[in-house]
Structure 1
Amino acid sequence: MRRRIALFFLIAGYAAAASAAGDDWPTSIALGGVQAGVKGLFQYDLNDFGDDRLPDGSHRFEDARTLRRKEVDLYLRKDDLLEIQAGYDFQPRTWLDNYVALNTGAGRFRLGQFKTQVGWEDGNTGSGATTFLERSLPEQAVHEGRRVGLEWSYAAIPHWLLQLAYFGRHDLNDDAAGATSSARAVYTPVLRKGEVLHLGLTASRENRDDRTGRVRARPEVNLTDIRLVDTGNLKGVDRILREGLEAGWLHGPLLLQGEYLSLRARRWSAPDFTGAGYYVSASWLLTGESRSYRNSGFGNPAPARGWGAFELAARYAALDLNDAGVQGGRERDATLGLNWYLGAHFKLQANYIRVFSSRGTLRLDPHVYALRAQLAF
């Protein structure tokens, strides 16, 4: 563990030195109203587990350190009219957002692969702008991921954002198994720099071609395949209904955020299964900056000082997957976080996660120490 922490802070020192060189990196060119460029996101994570001993004396988790993401995105934009994006993650070897978007007087139309709408923390917060290392328990369990489809967004009504989408039966990673239709409405009665009140409602319906479903979540870190809550394969699933409620308040350096998510699997051969959960979080920028708000999601702050910005954060998340004879388990995670933003491109994160879980007769309450060094451009 000491070597891992030493490596982490070696990367941190390099990031601090590089950030002093400035934030103006030449990653794009502009000619005649057309901008073309490349975006990258690289994250190196350390996960250390404790209090995870099973009744037979073995440990449930293994400590790990590796790259979490190696994302590269190419983009082309024409004024505010047209956007083309192609992205790939070389770490898990998976296609990311790949789409063509067109802005018209009737709204924004987007065709291709992108994230589905139910799940604010996952669908509308960039992977490099998350307050904590990973999304919360209910986000992991309910969010459908990326799908290929067509989306319409309309933001011409003051303080409102309306979205409708239809996703087909396939995606670029050959992961999808059914068509999905979804809707989202966001109301921002307060919307100005450093002061935002966000209220949202989402819903979707997925028709399952393979008549199966599975709901599960990691303990809010990603360098493990172990899930302490997991329904296993649900048989006879005709469709899956997802719903979400979103609320966030940004007031200068303070950000309060929460979400409730539920999933109902309609089954023709067994009682319907319902899983649900929520999270609440708070973060405070100790150095006084405020987070940005764009495209109905909160982004990273811009440090006001050469040595960066510091942020304290806390989150409580709960997920219940016991229903209709399915013993998927219950889990509650409490997380404390510290973030250090070094300019526009580097971020260092530390999370302590205390997990409380039960599934059937097994109770396990591990704790996790997690570190991340991030480069984004």
Structure 2
Amino acid sequence: MKRIFLIVLDSVGIGAEPDAPEYGDAGTNTLKSASTSSFFHMPNMEKLGLFNIEGINYHPSCEAPMASVARMQEASKGKDTTIGHWEIAGIYSGRPLPTYPNGFPSEVLDEFTRLTGRGVLCNKPYSGTDVIRDYGDEHLRTGALIVYTSADSVFQIAAHEDIVPPETLYEYCRIARKILVGEHGVGRVIARPFTGTAGNYTRTSGRHDFSIEPPSVDMLDQLKENGCAVIGVGKIHDIFAGKGLTEYVYTQGNEDGINKTLDYMDKEFRGLCFINLVDYDMLYGHRNDIDGYAKALTYFDQRLPELLARLKDEDLLMITADHGCDPGYTVSTDHSREYTPFLLYGRNIPPVNWGTRDTFADIGATVLDYFGITPQFKGKSMLPH
């Protein structure tokens, strides 16, 4: 009864990729920035081998790491959540998804307004916390939706829960998702509910991502076709538009995500449990909050022994990331083009350092290989044979 638990620490990059200057991200290093905080403490990840990964030279390594490790380089063009997760699952994106540094065109917003019956505020790249501060009062007064974007391929809709209940906001996002196809096929439409009063608005944990559907067969599809369970925890369902999943559950932050993962570890199934822990990115990376980022990493490290203790003899635990979001890179609050870590632990898997891999898709190939499935995409398994 083989099981794999694949955890994505959203945005925990480990250093700028060679082409990072093309994305304005030269010198970024999310993990290194977090490690400068006095709140950073990851002894359990150190024992697994996190600091043995190629290129990490600012923290002591472990003489006898428990896990196999690798530094993953993204082959796709882009640096956002959708493209990162898709490549993990075996989908190569040859061009970045569309971005809107000058806001969305009138043909998109006019149709969105017609179908929702609500006006639009902002329509420009903006920080998620700043946009509700600057437009929240007008939103409450007029009922118009706060629509904004970032350097990533996203159409974000913010609304106060007293004006637009979350379920209604999600329906507006579904409307936008149907509009944003073809030329304007952004990676994600994101619901950003918030609460509070003037001068004290706060985003809630009710965020939902509505991704464009993956364009080709990937790891999830192949697992499902071969009779494996494919369980999504957190925003995995949204990232893959539900494609390839047999079961899913949403989460309310990292603590809830870890707890729900532990619940699945107590269940019998054969297949993959794919987990996204989003707080690093959403709460700390985009806000340049080094201490908050460090505390979140430390919390995961504190919970890691619980995850390891629940593993059965044939279980594998994989830990990786999808991109960077360097909280110390104050020039920007956006994602960063970085290498990502990969750690694989199993009681019957000898620890190996695989150096630097050419694509995130090697993770998907490794997952499929463990279940005896040949991937229908480019990617090489890292499992020893």
TM-score normalised to structure 2 length: 0.24
Higher strand share: 1
Structure with greater helix share of residues: 2
- Return the structure number with greater relative CO, CA threshold 8 A, min gap 6: 2
